[in-house]
Amino acid sequence: MKSSYPSHWNVLPPAPAEYLNVAGVPPIVAQFLYNRGVKTDAINAFLTTDDQLQASPFLLPDMAQAVSRIYKALLSKEKIAIYGDLDVDGVTATAVLVESLSQLGGNVITYIPDRFSEGHGLKSAGIETLHSQGAGVIITVDCGVSDMAEAKQAQDMGIDMIITDHHNPLPTLPPAIAVIDAKREDSRYPFSELAGVGVAFKLAQALLHKHAEARRLTDLLDLVALGTVADMVSLTGENRHFVKEGLKVINSTKRVGLREMIQIAGLRHGQVDAEDISWALGPRLNAAGRIDTATTSYRLLTTQSTTEARALAKELEESNRERKSLAKEALRQAKEHLDGKFHLPLLMESDEDYPVGVIGLVAGKLVNEFYRPAVIVKLDRKLCRGSGRSIPEFNLVAALAKCHDLLAAFGGHPSAAGFAIEPQNLAQLEERLMCLAENQLSHLDLRPKLDIDAEVPLSALAGDTLNLMRHLEPFGQGNPCPTFLSPGVEVIEHRSLGDKGQWLSLKLKQGDVVWRAVDFESQKGQEEITPLIDAVYNIGRNRWNGEEVLELRLLDFAPSA
């Protein structure tokens, strides 16, 4: 192996001969599976992604108690409220349970909080609203596992709480009839990485498993796939099954709203994949909650009116355009204010002008460009809202937990978290987070490690290899698209594209093989585009004039020695 590759390029070691011999698949596929930690006895399940990846919903903690209480409500026609959350995961989870309970004849109402006045999670105002509407049972989706005070409030009002969530619980669980979360320490469920919509679907399975309506569970998998991919949970285990089967449902969906959104996004019915959810459908569904209210996305996914669906799809399209514009301007402002600070181990910026709906997106852009944890705060005289994104080397939600005494509320995941804080505590929070980041990151070379599955010549990318790769789909978190390194590739053409030349298009040649390559967010200067380069890339599909064209998606490249 050549020793002059950049230090952050990590060519993964070759699979041992014994793995290749017993894998029962072509060597290149075996290498991909080995790199993803798939054991030889799990290869068949990984490739077929069939029902054997699913586990009984009754292995989840408190599932039996939840089913018993819900059936009691169904029999007595008690009003059941679904308390959702304002991202795609929460909206799809809400729809899953509303449709499931409606099939059982339930008297169901919904509540999805407002990002601007309430934010994520179980809130007092929502509980009071549902209580005033006569709800006897509240089922949370994608939230609630750490909302102790709010769960106690509901209990004091005489409302029975059933919490379904996928976030990490606190040492003490909230008071509720049931707390269904695969991440509970006492959980016997074999897969802990379900999205919020995945947990909601397991509850639906438990409710319908002996019912005549159980056959309709498959029709809900389009919602499960949307929420699972958009929430960026690991596409391994049961999630892999949900997404692969859910994509089949999406591509033949009867949901008029989803069909309208697919069309307006410029996608082709029957050819939607996980990447399309990540880059087209998910952002549009999320845009509603970032700009106005997530109820718009919920209505789009559940409407049966073509006229309403078309209007809602257009509304989401406009919200998505506005979201992009607001995020672009906020990112420009944040980078201007952070100028001279990009060497720090953590980037934190606060301003009253930042739209609260896009601060997480801005933090994510900063992480992608500078590879440091980033926190953006919307200032307010009463209660400031912050959102952060992080890198694998820094657990953001754990860092916020160490600052809990300063925060009014917080929650999230290691790589993405949010919080609310009184303005007088903000300076101290920044000081503590900076100290934590300094202690954990100052000795590291803060550049993203680029894991490379295999070093191959361009000639290796023949039809069989590409067809075999499709057996590994869907790609996403935990199952990334295979990454290749091809050294000594000739650059025979290159040009900049986009409004500000941010895209780089190259034509690459090696021997008799020529490929088009694209770097969508290029940070390369002209001096780095030498006649011969070592290129690191994925293989992507681009649709052009109705035809599907394969291209190299450049992740990095360097002059070839």
Where helices occur in 338-485 by DSSP H, the ranges are 359-370, 396-401, 426-441, 463-469
How far apart (Å, rounded) are the C-alpha atoms in residues 123 and 250? 32
Q: Give all strands of the β-sheet with 107-111 in edge-to-edge order.
A: 107-111, 79-83, 137-140, 160-164, 178-180
pLDDT of residue 186 exceeding 80, the answer is yes
Please tell me the predicted confidence (pLDDT) of residue 241. Answer: 95
* Structure confidence at residue 1 (pLDDT): 42
Which option is the CATH number for 57-214: 3.90.1640.30, 3.40.30.10, 2.60.40.10, 3.90.1150.10? Answer: 3.90.1640.30
Neighbours of 341 (CB within 10 A): 13
pLDDT confidence of residue 483 = 96
pLDDT-derived band at 8 (thresholds 50, 70, 90) equals confident
Lowest model confidence (mean pLDDT) among 69-83, 105-119, 207-221: 207-221
Q: Give CA–CA dist 166/184, Å, rounded.
A: 9
- Kind of pairing, strands 513-519 and 503-510? antiparallel
Q: pLDDT at residue 501 above 70?
A: no
Nearest-angstrom CA–CA distance, 315 and 542:
26
- What average pLDDT does the segment 177-204 reach? 97
pLDDT tens readout for residues 77-127 = 999 999 999 899 999 999 999 999 999 999 999 999 988 888 888 999 999
Which range has the worst mean pLDDT, 321-335, 423-437, 542-556? 542-556
- CATH of segment(s) 338-441: 3.10.310.30
Residues in CB range of 393: below 8 A, 6 or more apart: 440, 441, 444, 446
CB 234 within 8 A of CB 248: no
Q: Where are the domains of the chain?
A: 57-214, 338-441, 451-559
Q: Which CATH class is domain 451-559?
A: mainly beta
- Type of residue at 82: I
Which pLDDT tens digit goes with each residue over 365-408?
Answer: 999 999 999 999 999 999 999 999 999 999 999 999 999 999 99
403: its two tokens: 């600052």
Is-cis flag, bond preceding 414, omega within 30? Answer: no
| pLDDT of res. 138 | 98
Residues 352-372: pLDDT tens digits? 999 999 999 999 999 999 999
Q: Range with the lowest mean pLDDT among 250-259, 355-364, 407-416? A: 407-416
